[in-house]
Amino acid sequence: MRVQRESPLAYAELTKATASADVGLELRGTPEAGEVFARHGDAEYAIAIWQGRLYGKPTSDWEVAQLARLAGMLGGSLVGEDGEAYGIRDGIVEQVNGDAAYEFGKLEEILSLGPAQWSA
């Protein structure tokens, strides 16, 4: 999944978006290579990779929710490999592909549950 928007995302914009402690995200690295971390409880989890663009490989609904939230903060959208879009609408994390929509659930509930990985 990648964060996509009309204008290219600059590292400085990513730095600014993740700088506030209220956001619960932390950017580590350099303008060439970095990672975005989200905290749940006492642990930190890498949710996105920066290498001139921002992308992630989520393994849980929690990571999808964090990525969708970050994409929205950056004025972009989260797009999957097949062109499906992920976002937050009315507090609900959803995936939209054409006319079909799938709701993951309420953002706050997903975030409170944490990063329980999907089963195979």
Sign of CA dihedral 9, 14, 15, 16: positive
> What does the pLDDT look like over 23-49, one tens digit per residue?
889 999 999 999 999 999 889 999 999
pLDDT at 65: 95
Domain ranges (residues) in the chain: 2-113
The fraction of the chain above a pLDDT of 70, given in percent, is 98
Q: Residue 119: is its pLDDT beyond 70?
A: no
Mapping DSSP onto H, E and C, the string for the chain reads: CEEECCCCCCHHHHHHHHHCHHHCEEEEECCCCEEEEEEECCEEEEEEEECCCEECCCCCHHHHHHHHHHHHHCCCEEECCCCCEEEEECCEEEEEECCEEEEEEEHHHHHHHCCCCCCC
In terms of pTM, does the model score above 0.95?
A: no
